[in-house]
């Protein structure tokens, strides 16, 4: 029986689309005169992913209102993996690109290394010096070309359930909770052991998954998987090894619910309250409040993480192919200006990558009602300043991070930790080959 | 059969319209106009069919054959998606490396095992279902339509619902198992449960479709064969075995061929079942990664188009191999009988 007709169709459609794109790429580089002026307006197209917030917060509408001669057409892809695959195809084919394209941090290095000539230089943009120093360096080429301006960053904190902490005899006040593990991730795991021992409900887990812990630990350091020369160093990097060992010990001691973030079972886990804490970057708060639902409002709180670390964040750049570079550049610079970044934070919780914005009252005084009125502006703002001033990125960061996350899941399944490391190592070698 | 037709002078081979002289004997030379008309007429007869089917083959050439050949060309190189224009010639190295790759053999085995545990029960159930539907029963149209509903459901929706049913902590399957005292099974991270769960999706979607194929073919079996068998004292089961099964054997082979093709290309169900990075790699331990997923992982996660193309061609060759094997076995068994 022709079982997977749909799957087959999907695969062959993708293949056909790709080869078509390739054909297009070989035959003609430009889309001739694509109408940039409809009813006299200048059209700026944007390709975005996830919840970058420009469309969602109404900023684009605001800009069009202020500039009646501009029309913005934004396309938002839900999943970054899908978005990046399409972006790469378009870049390779030299067609189908939008005027403005988003770049995720895990892909930044690859874009800088292989596609720098496809984006215009934004280093001369007016008032561009308000960003955190390390943010723009991530999308700057060796000869000083800036390929994109920063949108948000992902400083981390610990989101925890007050009610669950209380029944296990742990403090519930966010200052005291932060003191439990201040300065050292192993103290966080130690708190987990106490939790497990004293918890009345033995089914409750302390943390969702060991992979979140691993991410938080490695991203607190300058280097993770690569060194500045683009050489792989994860095998010998003590930061990676320590993070691995601690994550393994948390898994072996049964402190996790074996529910990796954003994967199967995690959302139901939030909704049904099966774990007491999770490592949460600023942009995750929206997701947690949505999935844990109104029933758990006021039970969650946010405490400072043991160490500052950055997970996620993005950039937006203008493509060389665009016919409206000047207008697009203006839009990019306006969208990433401190006021707009602060506005998005208020609306959606994406923390500004602009130093200036981090000090705006709208950010510093922000509180989250869902998370028991936690002063998230202060907590994440402080965490942002603790992030190392430099973050060395690598070409396959995103894929390597996934490989480690899967390696830790193997440990969760009961595989020997050394075996799991070996498997992970082999996988990374293959995907970077 | 050939005895009733007059023996062709050329000896059996049906020649494409043997060049018979136009007209009967010429009838006085025939004007040039008439011979032109003859040419047009002949073109009309012989050329037009090709004209009519040409669009299909043109489209097939552009969207089927060209990608196929281009894929092979790509598979001889090291190419990354982001830099498609820079290719590094590798010859057959992608293929030889593939043969040495544990993941390839793992994916091949998984494709085979999932294929077997989904196809065999599915076809057997379809056979049984068709047999039941073949009886005169009230509301038979309803049952026939109902059997086809899963087939009309989108793969995404079906896989997603089954994923929720097989959820570890709050899934309905584990809840039901818990009610009879069986501890929760971690459906997605254990190998066999995961493969079983994926097979369930496949079985659910395709059983009805196959049942209808069988049913159509069962209804073509003359009733008097059953009557004759009944008079000879054959039980229902004997009738099924000796009348029904041989009667629909062509359809059975057809469904087996189609299932084999489908099983080799299994992709959507495990991808959605795993969700996110675990879908692409077929579980954290690749425990349900099929060839289709491996291809996807190399192409759309690692962005190694050369390696992905090599897998695509390997899958193609495997299908051809299966097809040839099936022909050989078919010929050997028919010769024996």
Among chain B residues, the shortest Cα distance to A431 is held by B302
* Distance (Å, whole) CA B39 – CA A398: 67
Same domain, yes or no: A140 and A237:
no
Contact B319, B259 (CB under 8 A): no
**From CA A278, how far away is CA A213, in angstroms rounded?**
8
Given this model, what pLDDT does residue A146 score?
94
Q: Check whether residue A270 and residue A416 sit in a common domain.
A: yes
The yes-or-no verdict on residue A169 having pLDDT over 50 is: yes
Q: Find where tokens 């130690």 sit.
A: A190
Bridge partners, A101 (sequence order): A47, A317
- Which residues in chain B have Cβ-Cβ distances shorter than 8 Å to A19? 66-67, 70-71
In Å, how far are A3, A350, B159, B245 from B330, measured between CA atoms?
A: 23, 64, 35, 17
Task: Say if B262 is an interface residue toward chain A (CB within 8 Å).
Answer: yes
Cα–Cα nearest to A426, from B106, B291, B87: B106
Which of B247, B207, B199, B212 minimizes the C-alpha distance to B226? B247
Percent of chain B as helix, strand, coil, to the nearest 5: 70, 5, 25
From chain A, the residues in CB contact with B82 under 8 A are: 88, 91-92, 110, 114-115
Residue A283 domain flag: yes
pLDDT digits (tens, 9 = 90+) for A203-229: 999 999 999 999 999 998 889 999 988
DSSP-derived secondary structure letter, B61? I
Rounded to the nearest angstrom, the minimum Cα separation between B122 and chain A is 9
Q: Is residue A375 domain-shared with residue A227, that is, in the same domain?
A: yes
Note whether residue A305 is domain-resident: yes
Cα distance between residue B230 and residue B74, in whole Å = 62
Are A197 and A269 in a shared domain?
A: yes
Instruction: Select the residue of A16, A114, A263 nearest B83 (Cβ to Cβ).
Output: A114
Contact yes or no for A264 and B278 at CB 8 A: yes
CATH number at residue A116: 3.40.190.10
CA distance B196 to chain A (A): 16
Tally of structural domains, chain A: 2
Do B296 and B81 touch, CB atoms closer than 8 A?
A: no
pLDDT of residue B31: 67
Q: Measure the CA–CA gap between B62 and A59, rounded to whole angstroms.
A: 44
Same domain, A88 and A190: no
CB contact under 8 A, A1 and B210: yes
The reply to whether A214 falls in a domain is: yes
Whole-Å CA distances, B290 to A324, B113, B287, B323: 45, 10, 9, 20
A431 touches chain B (CB under 8 A): yes
Contacts of B186 in chain A (CB under 8 A): 413
Distance from CA of A64 to the nearest CA of B (A): 33
Could you give the percent of chain A with pLDDT greater than 70? Answer: 91
The pLDDT of residue A30: 41
Torsion of CA A217, A220, A225, A226, to 10 degrees: -170
Distances (CA, A) of A268 to A199, A251, A272, A290, B275: 21, 20, 6, 11, 14
A347, part of any domain: no
CA Rg value for chain A: 23
Q: What is the H or E stretch that residue A318 is in? A: strand A310-318
Which chain B positions have a beta carbon within 8 Å of A272's beta carbon? 169-170
Lowest mean pLDDT among A49-63, A87-101, B5-19, B200-214: B5-19
Give a yes or no: residue A31 inside a domain.
no
pTM for this structure?
A: 0.81
What the block records as the tokens of B160 is 């997603």
pLDDT tens sequence across A170-215: 999 999 999 999 989 999 999 999 999 999 999 999 999 999 999 9
Please, which residues have CB within 8 angstroms of residue B164's CB and are 6 or more apart in sequence? B171, B172
Pair (A283, A222) in one structural domain: yes
Q: Is A22 a residue whose pLDDT tops 60? A: no
| A384, pLDDT greater than 60 | yes
DSSP A133-149: HHHHHTTB-TTS-B--E
Does residue A86 lie within any of the structural domains? yes
Q: Which pLDDT tens digits describe chain B residue by residue (337 residues)?
A: 344 444 444 444 444 444 444 444 444 445 677 787 888 888 777 888 888 889 999 999 999 999 999 999 999 999 988 787 889 999 999 999 999 999 999 999 999 999 999 999 999 999 999 988 888 778 888 888 888 899 999 998 999 999 999 988 888 999 999 999 888 888 988 899 999 999 999 999 999 999 999 999 999 999 899 899 999 998 888 988 899 999 999 999 999 989 988 999 999 999 999 888 888 999 989 999 999 999 999 998 888 999 999 999 999 999 999 889 988 988 888 877 6
* Cα–Cα distance for residue pair B78/B141, rounded to 1 Å: 55
Residue A8 confidence (pLDDT): 38
Tell me what the mean pLDDT of segment A293-304 comes to: 94
Q: Is A361 contained in some domain?
A: no
A387 and A262 in a single domain? The answer is yes
The CA-to-CA distance between both ends of chain B, in Å, stands at 20
Please, which residues 69-128 of chain B have a Cβ atom closer than 8 Å to chain A? 70-71, 80-85, 103, 118-119, 122-123, 126
- What mean pLDDT comes out for the span A312-327? 93
Query: For residue A396, what are the contacts with CB-CB under 8 A and spacing of at least 6?
Result: A110, A225, A428, A431, A432
Both A301 and A393 in one domain: the answer is: yes
Max CA pair span of chain B: 97
- A148: domain range? 42-153+316-335
Residue from B80, B84, B111 whose CB has the most chain A CBs within 10 Å, to mutate: B84
A381 and A329 part of one domain: no
Taking contacts as CB-CB distances below 8 angstroms, the residues of chain A near B65 are none
A3: pLDDT strictly greater than 50: no
Q: Which of B82, B85, B168 sits opposite A110 (nearest CB)?
A: B82
Residue A258 pLDDT grade (very low, low, confident, very high; cuts 50, 70, 90)? very high
Q: Which residues of B touch A433 (CB under 8 A)?
A: 304
A107/A120 Cα distance (integer angstroms): 17
Tell me the pLDDT band of A36, cut-offs 50, 70 and 90: low
Do A242 and A326 lie in one domain? The reply is no
A423 in the same domain as A323: no
Within-domain flag for A32 = no
φ, ψ for residue A148 (rounded to 5)?
-160, 160
Under 8 Å between Cβ of B273 and B159: yes
**Token pair 């069009």: residue:** A64
Do A218 and A299 lie in one domain? The reply is yes
């Amino acid at each position: 029986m022709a079982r997977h007709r749909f799957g087959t169709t999907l695969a062959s459609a993708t293949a056909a689309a790709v080869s078509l794109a390739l054909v297009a790429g070989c035959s003609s580089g430009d889309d001739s005169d694509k109408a940039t002026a409809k009813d006299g307006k200048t059209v700026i197209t944007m390709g975005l992913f996830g919840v970058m917030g420009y469309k969602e917060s109404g900023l684009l509408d605001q800009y069009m209102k202020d500039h009646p001669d501009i029309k913005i057409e934004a396309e938002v892809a839900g999943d970054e993996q899908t978005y990046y695959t399409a972006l790469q195809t378009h870049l390779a084919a030299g067609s189908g690109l939008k005027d403005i394209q988003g770049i995720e941090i895990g892909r930044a290095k690859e874009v800088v290394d292989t596609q720098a000539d496809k984006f215009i230089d934004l280093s001369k943009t007016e008032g561009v010096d308000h960003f955190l120093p390390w943010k723009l360096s991530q999308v700057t080429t060796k000869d000083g070309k800036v390929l994109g301006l920063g949108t948000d960053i992902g400083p981390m904190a610990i989101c925890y359930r007050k009610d669950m902490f209380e029944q296990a005899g742990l403090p519930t006040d966010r200052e005291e909770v932060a003191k439990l593990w201040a300065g050292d991730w192993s103290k966080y795991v130690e708190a987990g052991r106490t939790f497990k021992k004293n918890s009345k409900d033995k089914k409750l887990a302390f943390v969702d998954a060991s992979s979140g812990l691993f991410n938080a630990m490695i991203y607190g350091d300058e280097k993770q998987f690569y060194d500045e020369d683009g050489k792989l160093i994860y095998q010998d990097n003590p930061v990676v090894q320590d993070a691995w060992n601690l994550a393994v010990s948390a898994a072996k001691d049964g402190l996790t619910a074996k529910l990796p973030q954003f994967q199967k079972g995690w959302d139901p886990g939030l909704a049904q309250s099966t774990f007491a804490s999770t490592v949460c970057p600023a942009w995750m708060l929206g997701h947690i409040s949505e999935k844990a639902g109104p029933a758990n409002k006021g039970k969650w709180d946010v405490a400072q993480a043991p160490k500052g670390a950055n997970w996620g964040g993005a950039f937006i750049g203008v493509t060389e192919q665009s016919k409206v570079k000047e207008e697009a550049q203006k839009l990019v610079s306006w969208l990433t200006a401190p006021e707009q970044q602060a506005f998005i934070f208020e609306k959606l919780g994406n923390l500004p990558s602009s130093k200036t914005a981090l000090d705006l009252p709208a950010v510093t005084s922000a509180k989250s009602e869902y998370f028991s009125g936690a002063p998230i502006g202060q907590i994440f703002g402080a965490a942002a300043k603790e992030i190392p001033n430099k973050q060395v990125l690598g070409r396959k960061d995103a894929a390597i991070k996934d490989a480690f996350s899967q390696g830790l899941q193997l440990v969760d399944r009961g595989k020997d930790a050394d075996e799991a490391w070996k498997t992970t190592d082999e996988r990374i070698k293959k995907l970077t080959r | 059969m050939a005895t009733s037709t007059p023996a062709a002078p050329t000896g059996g081979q049906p020649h494409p319209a043997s060049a018979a002289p136009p007209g009967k004997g010429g009838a006085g030379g025939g004007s040039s106009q008439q011979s032109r008309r003859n040419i047009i007429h002949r073109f009309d007869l012989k050329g037009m069919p090709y004209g009519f089917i040409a669009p299909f083959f043109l489209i097939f050439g552009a969207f089927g054959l060209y990608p196929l050949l281009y894929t092979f060309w790509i598979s001889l190189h090291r190419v990354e998606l982001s830099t498609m224009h820079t290719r590094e010639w590798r010859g057959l190295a992608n293929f030889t490396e593939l043969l040495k790759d544990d993941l390839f053999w793992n994916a091949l085995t998984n494709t085979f095992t999932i294929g077997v545990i989904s196809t065999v029960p599915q076809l057997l159930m379809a056979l049984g279902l068709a047999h039941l539907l073949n009886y005169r029963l009230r509301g038979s149209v309803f049952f026939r339509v109902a059997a086809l509903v899963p087939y009309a459901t989108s793969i995404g929706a079906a896989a997603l619902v089954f994923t929720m049913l097989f959820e570890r902590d709050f899934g309905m399957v584990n809840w039901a198992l818990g009610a009879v005292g069986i501890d929760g099974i971690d459906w997605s991270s254990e190998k066999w449960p995961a493969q079983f769960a994926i097979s369930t999706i496949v079985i659910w979607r395709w059983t009805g479709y196959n049942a209808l194929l069988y049913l159509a073919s069962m209804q073509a079996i003359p009733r008097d064969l059953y009557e004759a068998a009944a008079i000879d004292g054959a039980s229902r089961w004997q009738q099924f075995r000796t009348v029904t099964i041989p009667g629909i054997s062509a359809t059975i082979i057809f469904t087996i061929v189609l299932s084999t093709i489908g099983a080799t290309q299994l992709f959507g169900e495990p991808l959605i079942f795993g969700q996110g990075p675990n879908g692409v790699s077929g579980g954290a331990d690749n425990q349900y990664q099929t060839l289709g997923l491996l291809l996807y992982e190399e192409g759309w996660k690692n962005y190694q188009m050369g390696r992905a193309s090599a897998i695509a061609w390997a899958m193609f060759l495997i299908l051809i191999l299966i097809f040839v094997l099936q022909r050989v076995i078919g010929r050997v068994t028919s010769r024996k009988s």
